[in-house]
Amino acid sequence: MEHLVIPEGTSEPAYPWWQRYQPISYKFESRSGNHDEFVDMVQRCNAVGVRIFVDAVVNHMAGLGRSGTGSGGSSFDSDQHDFPGVPYTDVDFTPREMCNSGDGNVNNYGDPENVRNCNLVGLTDLYGASSEVRQKVADYFSSAVDIGVAGFRVDAAKHMWPDDLKAMMDLTNNLNTDQGFPANTRPFFYHEVIDRNDGAVTVQQYYGLGRITEFRYCQKITWGIDDFSQLWGIYDPGWGMADPDKAFVFVDNHDNQRGHGGAGDTITYKQPHNYRLGVAFTLAQPYGFTRIMSSYDFGTDTDVGPPHKSDWSTDDVVVTADGQCSNGWVCEHRWPSITKMVRFRNAVAGALTADNKYNDGNVVAFSRGNLGFFAMIKQGTLSMNLQTGMPAGTYSELVTCADVTVNGDGTAQITITNEEEPIFAICQGCSC
């Protein structure tokens, strides 16, 4: 959506990535392009089977102390609660008396009223209980869905009341059949709730609204890659982690990869070896609905925005002859083992459990029913006979494309020699 723009020459970093989390209006006019360009992208993607999910910031508008013109040309004045591009006026913001903190900001994560009714880092808090606000957010969702968007990540859902979110979702249109979606299909929602067993707001409070981000998974995968013996406990219901059919899991996201929300114990593209293992294991194991990250390189500057042109608009992603990215883009999604493991995940989606588990601290292996078999190693090389659970036959190993023979009893000789990508995967119906 249209967002705050922080130009050069202020006391803040110029055009930081996080300016996008300060909405000015719901026009599709951002640093990434204009309305027509957005429509063109969504529809070209749908035409080739790639669905688009919008990162929707609807808990708040821009921060206090900010005024001027947004990325789409709309004027605004946060201190006056005035956003004519929507339009929102003072009545659309959470009444000050409903926030129990002295300065109006969220400051007590033990109190759900404080978390939901106060301003998150000074961001002007929308009053989600208001039918006008609900309708305006739903109109925004519907405008995206009508273009062909398939669903939404709801930013800062932790700071919104689940009943308000439900009302907004219920008012939203079905997916667009002209864009290839079946009739009467609801958008896919996943809600950003950072719950690390550290406050009054839990992922369970959002059951019934879609999927919920499970940030404990980020910690668990980091610990598990460090110490393979911890990998079988990656889903820990005793720690409050969301049910498998509710959890939305990822190795890192745009916040915790750079030390913002939910950071700590996070692996990123900056540790490529561990990252490949972490993403491979995530895509191989059955817990949760998975998302993979695709980044630009921010170096050590945790504020810096994406690669940009001289007018500061987002620069093109340049794809090299070997299918990788350049021009400042990392494109983890194009790293060979990550791309291949997405194929694996899709192929084994029907198997809900990990079976035939093997873990000796250096080698981790398991099958997914009889649909696929996965192995990875921490160091060295591997040559070992393991039970794959797969029907007898010859399979093409995904990472190396080598032929693998599964014997009549389901065993196979598992070989890993590439220490850079120490990952092995075979699946039914997969080609490497």
What is the contact mask toward ligand LM2 in residues 18 to 47, using x (rule: CB under 6 A)?
xx-xx-------------------------
Distance between CA atoms of residues 418 and 380, nearest Å: 9
What is the contact mask toward Ca ion in residues 115 to 134, using x (rule: CB under 5 A)?
-x--------x---------
Distance between CA atoms of residues 391 and 69, nearest Å: 62
For residue 423, the partner it binds in ligand LM2, Ca ion, none, with Cβ less than 5 to 8 A by kind, is none
Given the complex with ligand LM2, which of 51 and 260 has the nearer CB atom?
Answer: 260
Distance between CA atoms of residues 190 and 34, nearest Å: 25
Residue 55 · residue 42 · CB < 8 Å: no
Comparing C-alpha atoms, which of 213, 188, 211, 167 is closest to residue 58?
167
For residue 125, the partner it binds in ligand LM2, Ca ion, none, with Cβ less than 5 to 8 A by kind, is Ca ion
Instruction: Indicate which single residue of 155, 164, 214, 252 sits in contact with ligand LM2 (rule: CB under 6 A).
Output: 155
Distance between CA atoms of residues 396 and 173, nearest Å: 43
Beta carbon of residue 59, minimum distance to ligand LM2 (angstroms, whole number): 7
Distance between CA atoms of residues 258 and 255, nearest Å: 6
Strand pairing report for 318-319 and 123-125 = unpaired
Beta carbon of residue 197, minimum distance to Ca ion (angstroms, whole number): 22
* Residue 215 in the binding site for ligand LM2 (CB under 6 A): no
| Type of residue at 69 | T
* Residue 121 in the binding site for ligand LM2 (CB under 6 A): yes
Instruction: Indicate which single residue of 261, 272, 328, 410 sits in contact with ligand LM2 (rule: CB under 6 A).
Output: 261
**What's the chain's Rg over C-alpha atoms?**
23
Distance between CA atoms of residues 412 and 431, nearest Å: 18
Dihedral sign of CA atoms 111, 112, 117, 121 in order: positive
Residue 425 · residue 281 · CB < 8 Å: no
Beta carbon of residue 163, minimum distance to Ca ion (angstroms, whole number): 12
Beta carbon of residue 226, minimum distance to Ca ion (angstroms, whole number): 36
Given the complex with Ca ion, which of 158 and 258 has the nearer CB atom?
Answer: 158
Instruction: Indicate which single residue of 255, 332, 397, 421 sits in contact with ligand LM2 (rule: CB under 6 A).
Output: 255
Beta carbon of residue 19, minimum distance to ligand LM2 (angstroms, whole number): 6
Comparing C-alpha atoms, which of 393, 402, 392, 394 is closest to residue 423?
402
For residue 345, the partner it binds in ligand LM2, Ca ion, none, with Cβ less than 5 to 8 A by kind, is none
Given the complex with ligand LM2, which of 21 and 395 has the nearer CB atom?
Answer: 21
Please work out the total of residues on this chain that contact ligand LM2, with binding judged by CB under 6 A.
16
155 is catalytic: yes
For residue 270, the partner it binds in Ca ion, ligand LM2, none, with Cβ less than 5 to 8 A by kind, is none
Each residue of 360-396: b (16+ CB within 10 Å) or e? Answer: eeebbbbbbbbbbbbbbbbeeebeeebbbbbeeeebe
* Residue 260 in the binding site for ligand LM2 (CB under 6 A): yes
Given the complex with Ca ion, which of 28 and 93 has the nearer CB atom?
Answer: 93
Beta carbon of residue 260, minimum distance to ligand LM2 (angstroms, whole number): 4
For residue 22, the partner it binds in ligand LM2, Ca ion, none, with Cβ less than 5 to 8 A by kind, is ligand LM2
* Residue facing ligand LM2 at closest CB distance: 63
Q: Which stretch binds ligand LM2 (CB under 6 A): 120-128, 144-152, 340-348, 424-432?
A: 120-128
Beta carbon of residue 68, minimum distance to ligand LM2 (angstroms, whole number): 13
Catalytic residue among 2, 82, 125, 192: 192
Distance between CA atoms of residues 248 and 212, nearest Å: 5
Instruction: Indicate which single residue of 66, 136, 158, 159 sits in contact with Ca ion (rule: CB under 5 A).
Output: 159
* Residue 199 in the binding site for ligand LM2 (CB under 6 A): no
Q: Which stretch binds Ca ion (CB under 5 A): 43-51, 108-116, 178-186, 234-242?
A: 108-116
What is the contact mask toward ligand LM2 in residues 54 to 93, using x (rule: CB under 6 A)?
---x-----x------------------------------
Q: Given the structure tokens 């561990």, which residue do they identify?
A: 274
Each residue of 147-179: b (16+ CB within 10 Å) or e? Answer: bbbbbbbbbbbbbbbbebbbbbbebbeebbeeb
In the complex, the residues that contact ligand LM2 under the rule CB under 6 A are: 18-19, 21-22, 57, 63, 120-123, 155-156, 192, 255, 260-261
Residues of this chain that bind Ca ion (CB under 5 A): 59, 116, 125, 159
Residues labelled catalytic: 155, 192
